[in-house]
Chains A and B, each alone.
Chain A
C-alpha cells in the first residue's frame, strides 16, 4: 500500500530541481497545483505519461519571475559576492604575511615546475609515434623464445611469416616488413658504410613519415629509393637530390653485389617522437635480386608490422598460432619458440626494453614510475610545508576567525576562505612554476636525458591545461584542507576569552616534519647510492684492459694477416689481433653438450694472440697456437664461469660437443666482462677463428696514443681495402650507453635530491621563524634570567630533534629497501650498498636542518631581550 502510494508521487528529482531554481516564495503554491494536477492525470493509470508531463511543466515554469530572488531573503547569499570577499581577504592576508607567503609560493613553484617537467615527459612517452595516423591499429609481430628457463621476446621473425599471416587472415589490412641490412653507399668520392632498410611496397601506406622532396606515393612501382633527410644531407648537402643515382654495395655470404639506385624522394626531418626511422629505404623486390631468400624460414626480417582494425582479430590469430610455431621451430631447430607476440605499436616505446634485437627507441617503465614518484614526493613536501606554516600561523588568525564567526560566518565559509587563500598562492606559484619549468627545468631536463627536446606548448596541448588545473586544485586542497578544517572548528567565545590555546599539542606537526624528513632521506640516500655505485663501476675491473684499444670492423677477413703485418709497423702499435665478435656488442649464444646434457653458453671466435692483446689472464693450460693445424677444428678455451657451471675440478683436458663435433679444452681464461656489469658473467667458449670468420681487428696502442694511431692507420687500410670505408671505434666506447644511463639517473636523482632539500629547507625555515616569533618572549625572559646559548638553541631545536631521530630510524631502512627493490633496474645486480651512503645521508640531513635553523638560533641568541619584552 505504502509502496503503491509512493509510486504515484510525482518525480522527486523534478521537485528538487524546481525547489532549486524557483523563488522560495512561489514554490509552495505552484508545486501544490502541479501535484494536484499530477494526481488527476496519474489516476487513470498512465503514470509514465503523467511523469513526463510533470517534468515538462517544471521546465515550462522556468521564467524570469520564478528565477528572480527577493532581496530581503536571508536563505540565500549571493555566492559571487562571497567569493569576491574571499579573494579580497586572501589577497590582503598574502600581502600582510609576505615572508610566509613567499616561502609557500616559492616551494610550490619549484614543485609545480618539476611536476610540469614530469607531465611533459610522460605525455611525450605516451604519445610516441602519434604522427602515424594508423598508429593504434599497428602491431609488431615478435617471437617468444624459451631460453634457459626464461621466456625471452625477440623482435625479429622469419621473413615469410608476414606473408603467411596475411594470406591466412585477409582481415589483416596490411602487412609491412622492414629488414635492416648493412651496406656501403658510394656517391662520387663519398664512401660511407651505412644501414639500409628493405621494406614492403606498402610501407608508406602504413606509416606517415613526412616527405620533403620528391614523392613516396609511387614508391612501389618505381625503381627508386627514399632517403632520410640527414642521409641526403650527408651525400648531397642541402640541395635536392631527387633523380640522382647512388650505388650501394652489399656483402652477402661472402659475395659482393653492387647495385645502383635512383633517388625518388627525401623524407623530412623525422618527428622527435618517432620510435623508429630508416635512413635509406629500398623496396623489397630489389632485395630479391640480391638475396632471393624470401621464402626461407631461417632468415628473419628485422621488423614485421601488421595492421588490425580490432584487437579481437589479434586474439583470434593468437589462438591459431600453433601451425606457425611448428613451421618456425622445424626450420630453426635451436630456437624453441613458444608463442608469437603481437606488440601494439603505440606502446612499443614502453615495452621494448627487454626485447632482444629491438629496433625501436624505448624508455624503461621504471623510469616513468620513478619520475612520477618524484613529482608526488615534491608535491607532498610543499603541501606539508603549507600545512605546517598555516597551522603555526593560525594563532595570529584565530581572533579574526572568531570575529567572523560571531558576525555570522558559518564553518563552511571559513573553510572556503582558507582554501581560496591557498588557491591564490597556488595560482601565483603556478605562474612562477611555469616560468621556471619553461626557462630552466625543461631545458636542463632535456640536457640530462639528451636526444629529446620537450617544451611547454599550452596552445597544442589541451591536456596540459587540465593537468595544470588539477595541479592547482590538488595543491590547494592538500595544503589548506586540513588547516581549514582544524582552525574552523573552535568555538569563537572560547578563543575570544583566551580560554584556550591552539597548537600546544603539536604531535601532528611532528608527524608531518618526520614524513618530510623521511621523504628527503629517501631521495638523498638513493642519490648517494647511485652516485657511489657509478663511481665504483667506472673503477671496476673488466677482466681485460679496456683503454687504448682500437677496434676496426672488417668486411673480409681473408686479408687480415697482411693488414696486421702492415699495422704492426706503426711504432705506437703494441699488438694486433682479430675476432669474430666485439666485446659488449654482438655476442652469440651457443648450444653445447657436456656429458649428454645441453647447455646454453656464449661463444666467441678469436685469433691466436687475442688474450694477450686484450690483456686477459690465462689461468691454466695454454693459448691458441696458429701453427697447429688442428687448432681451429678441435681446441677451445673456456672461462672460469664455464668450469664452475660444469662442476669441473680442472678445465684443461675436458671434452664437450658443439653440434656433433667434439672439442677439447686446452686452457682456462680468467673471467672477464664480455657484456656490461648489469649482466653476470656467463659461461663462455672461445674458439679459434678461421680468417674468413674475422670481423673485427683489435689494436693495442701505446697509452694515450689510440686516437692518433687510429687516424694514422687509415693509410694502411686504404692499401688493403680501397673500396671500403675506414671506420674505427674504441673499446671503452662500446659501453657508452651503459654509463650514459648511469649519468642520466645520476643527474635526475641529484636534481631531485637538491629540490627536496631546498623545499625542506624553505619549509623548516618558515616554520621555525613562526615558532620563534611566538616564543621570543619566553626566550627573552629566560635570557634575562641567565640562559646560555645552548639552552636557547636547545629550545628551538627541540621541535625538530625528535622528528629527526624518528625519521632517521624509519627513513634509512625504508630507503634501503626501496633502492634494493625499485631501483634494481638502475643498479646492476652485482652492485652493493655500502655503509657510506648511510653516513652521508645523515650528515646531509643534519646539515640541512642546521642551514634552516642557524639564522633563527643566531637571532634568538644574540638579540637584545629588552627589545621583545618592552612592547606591551
Chain B
C-alpha cells in the first residue's frame, strides 16, 4: 500500500477542504476550525499547511473572484485532488483498523 505523508493538522485542514468543497480558502478554513472544532489556530499556520498540501499534491488551487469585502483582492480556492482523497481514506482506514483491534469493553462500547 502507498504511504501518504499526512500530519495531524494537515489532515484536519485537508478534511475541511473536502467538506467546503470548491468553497475552501485560507480564512474559511481557519474560521471553521476555530468555530466548529474549538481549536485556536492562526491564519498563517493554515496557509502554510495549505501550501504544503498543495506541494504534496493533495489539493489543487486556483484564484477565485475578487470582492470589495477583501479589498479587491482575489481568493485562492482550494479543492481536494484524487491523491488527497486517497490520503484521507488511507488515514481513516489506518485508524479504523486500529479501532477494530481495540479490546471489547475498554471504552464501554463495541467498535
- The answer to the question of A61 belonging to the interface, with a C-beta cut-off of 8 Å to chain B, is yes
Q: How far is the CB of A365 from chain B (nearest CB, A)?
A: 60
Q: Mark A19-53, 1 if CB is under 8 A from B, else 0.
A: 00000001011111111110100000000000000
Q: How far is the CB of B35 from chain A (nearest CB, A)?
A: 12
The answer to whether B69 touches A33, judged by C-beta atoms less than 8 angstroms apart, is no
Q: How far is the CB of B82 from chain A (nearest CB, A)?
A: 24
Interface-side segment among B15-23, B72-80, B87-95: B72-80
The answer to whether A32 touches B74, judged by C-beta atoms less than 8 angstroms apart, is yes
Contacts of B26 in A (CB 8 A): 29-30, 33
Contacts of B27 in A (CB 8 A): 33, 36-37
Contacts of B44 in A (CB 8 A): 57, 60-61, 63
With A57-B42, A63-B48 known as contacts, the answer to whether A33 contacts B71 (CB < 8 A) is no
The answer to whether A29 touches B51, judged by C-beta atoms less than 8 angstroms apart, is no
Q: Mark B41-82, 1 if CB is under 8 A from A, else 0.
A: 011100110010000000000010010011101111000000
Contact of A65 among B25, B30, B51, B70 (CB under 8 A): B51
A529 to B69, CA, bound (A): 79
Closest B residue, CB atoms, query A61: B44
Contacts of B74 in A (CB 8 A): 28-29, 32
A61 to B50, CA, bound (A): 13
The answer to whether B43 touches A65, judged by C-beta atoms less than 8 angstroms apart, is no
Q: Mark A54-73, 1 if CB is under 8 A from B, else 0.
A: 00010011010100000000
The answer to whether B42 touches A60, judged by C-beta atoms less than 8 angstroms apart, is yes
The answer to whether B76 touches A29, judged by C-beta atoms less than 8 angstroms apart, is yes
Contacts of B51 in A (CB 8 A): 26, 65
Contacts of A63 in B (CB 8 A): 44, 48
Contact of A35 among B42, B47, B63, B71 (CB under 8 A): B71
Contact of B69 among A34, A36, A61 (CB under 8 A): A36
A29 to B50, CA, bound (A): 12
The answer to whether A29 touches B43, judged by C-beta atoms less than 8 angstroms apart, is no
Q: Mark A576-619, 1 if CB is under 8 A from B, else 0.
A: 00000000000000000000000000000000000000000000
The answer to whether A30 touches B47, judged by C-beta atoms less than 8 angstroms apart, is yes
Contacts of A37 in B (CB 8 A): 27, 30, 43
A33 to B70, CA, bound (A): 7
Closest B residue, CB atoms, query A36: B70
Q: Identify which of A28, A31, A33, A36 gathers the most chain B CB atoms within 10 Å of its CB.
A: A33
With A37-B43, A57-B42 known as contacts, the answer to whether A32 contacts B48 (CB < 8 A) is no
A31 to B44, CA, bound (A): 11
The size of the chain B interface, using a CB distance under 8 A, is 19
Q: How far is the CB of A597 from chain B (nearest CB, A)?
A: 89
With A37-B27, A57-B42, A60-B44 known as contacts, the answer to whether A29 contacts B69 (CB < 8 A) is no
Closest A residue, CB atoms, query B70: A32
Contacts of A65 in B (CB 8 A): 48, 51
A63 to B51, CA, bound (A): 12
Contacts of A9 in B (CB 8 A): 71
> For window 53-102 of chain A, which residues contact chain B by CB distance below 8 Å?
57, 60-61, 63, 65
A31 to B27, CA, bound (A): 11
The size of the chain A interface, using a CB distance under 8 A, is 18
The answer to whether B43 touches A33, judged by C-beta atoms less than 8 angstroms apart, is yes
A32 to B77, CA, bound (A): 12
Closest B residue, CB atoms, query A10: B71
Contacts of B25 in A (CB 8 A): 29, 33
Q: How far is the CB of B109 from chain A (nearest CB, A)?
A: 41
Contacts of B42 in A (CB 8 A): 57, 60
Contacts of A39 in B (CB 8 A): 69
The answer to whether B70 touches A35, judged by C-beta atoms less than 8 angstroms apart, is yes
A66 to B51, CA, bound (A): 10
Contacts of A61 in B (CB 8 A): 43-44, 47
Contacts of B48 in A (CB 8 A): 63, 65
Contacts of A36 in B (CB 8 A): 27, 69-70
Q: Mark A803-817, 1 if CB is under 8 A from B, else 0.
A: 000000000000000
Q: How far is the CB of A161 from chain B (nearest CB, A)?
A: 72
Closest B residue, CB atoms, query A59: B44
Contacts of B30 in A (CB 8 A): 33, 37
Contact of A34 among B43, B66, B76 (CB under 8 A): B43
Q: How far is the CB of B93 from chain A (nearest CB, A)?
A: 31
The answer to whether A32 touches B43, judged by C-beta atoms less than 8 angstroms apart, is no
Q: How far is the CB of B15 from chain A (nearest CB, A)?
A: 19
Q: How far is the CB of B85 from chain A (nearest CB, A)?
A: 23
The answer to whether A57 touches B73, judged by C-beta atoms less than 8 angstroms apart, is no
Contacts of A33 in B (CB 8 A): 25-27, 30, 43, 47, 70, 75
A34 to B26, CA, bound (A): 9
Closest B residue, CB atoms, query A64: B48
A33 to B27, CA, bound (A): 6
The answer to whether A29 touches B71, judged by C-beta atoms less than 8 angstroms apart, is no
Contacts of B43 in A (CB 8 A): 30, 33-34, 37, 57, 60-61
Contacts of B63 in A (CB 8 A): 28-29
Q: Mark A778-817, 1 if CB is under 8 A from B, else 0.
A: 0000000000000000000000000000000000000000
A218 to B47, CA, bound (A): 74
Q: How far is the CB of A571 from chain B (nearest CB, A)?
A: 107
Q: How far is the CB of B44 from chain A (nearest CB, A)?
A: 4
Q: How far is the CB of B19 from chain A (nearest CB, A)?
A: 18
Closest B residue, CB atoms, query A38: B71
A37 to B73, CA, bound (A): 13
A57 to B48, CA, bound (A): 13
Q: How far is the CB of B47 from chain A (nearest CB, A)?
A: 6
Contacts of A28 in B (CB 8 A): 63, 73-74
Contacts of A60 in B (CB 8 A): 42-44
Contacts of B71 in A (CB 8 A): 9, 31-32, 35
Q: Identify which of A29, A30, A37, A63 gathers the most chain B CB atoms within 10 Å of its CB.
A: A29
The answer to whether A32 touches B73, judged by C-beta atoms less than 8 angstroms apart, is yes
With A37-B27, A37-B43, A57-B44 known as contacts, the answer to whether A31 contacts B69 (CB < 8 A) is no
A36 to B68, CA, bound (A): 9
Contacts of B75 in A (CB 8 A): 29, 32-33
A28 to B73, CA, bound (A): 6
Contacts of A35 in B (CB 8 A): 70-71, 73
Closest B residue, CB atoms, query A39: B69
Q: Identify which of B48, B66, B73 gathers the most chain A CB atoms within 10 Å of its CB.
A: B73
Closest A residue, CB atoms, query B27: A33
The answer to whether B73 touches A31, judged by C-beta atoms less than 8 angstroms apart, is yes
Q: Mark B82-107, 1 if CB is under 8 A from A, else 0.
A: 00000000000000000000000000
A39 to B47, CA, bound (A): 19
A729 to B43, CA, bound (A): 91
A558 to B70, CA, bound (A): 107
A35 to B44, CA, bound (A): 13
Closest B residue, CB atoms, query A60: B44
Closest A residue, CB atoms, query B51: A65
Q: How far is the CB of A232 from chain B (nearest CB, A)?
A: 74
Binding site for A on B (CB under 8 A): 25-27, 30, 42-44, 47-48, 51, 63, 66, 69-71, 73-76
9 cross-chain pairs, A with B, having the tightest CB-CB distances, nearest first: A32-B73, A29-B76, A32-B70, A35-B71, A33-B27, A60-B44, A33-B26, A61-B44, A36-B70
Task: List 23 A-B pairs, Cβ < 8 Å.
Answer: A26-B47, A26-B51, A29-B26, A29-B75, A30-B26, A32-B66, A32-B70, A32-B71, A32-B73, A32-B74, A32-B75, A33-B25, A33-B27, A33-B75, A35-B70, A35-B71, A35-B73, A37-B27, A37-B43, A57-B42, A57-B44, A61-B44, A61-B47
Additional pairs, 16, CB under 8 Å, beyond known A35-B70, A57-B43, A65-B48 = A29-B73, A29-B74, A30-B47, A31-B71, A32-B66, A33-B27, A33-B43, A33-B75, A35-B73, A36-B69, A37-B27, A39-B69, A60-B42, A60-B44, A61-B43, A65-B51
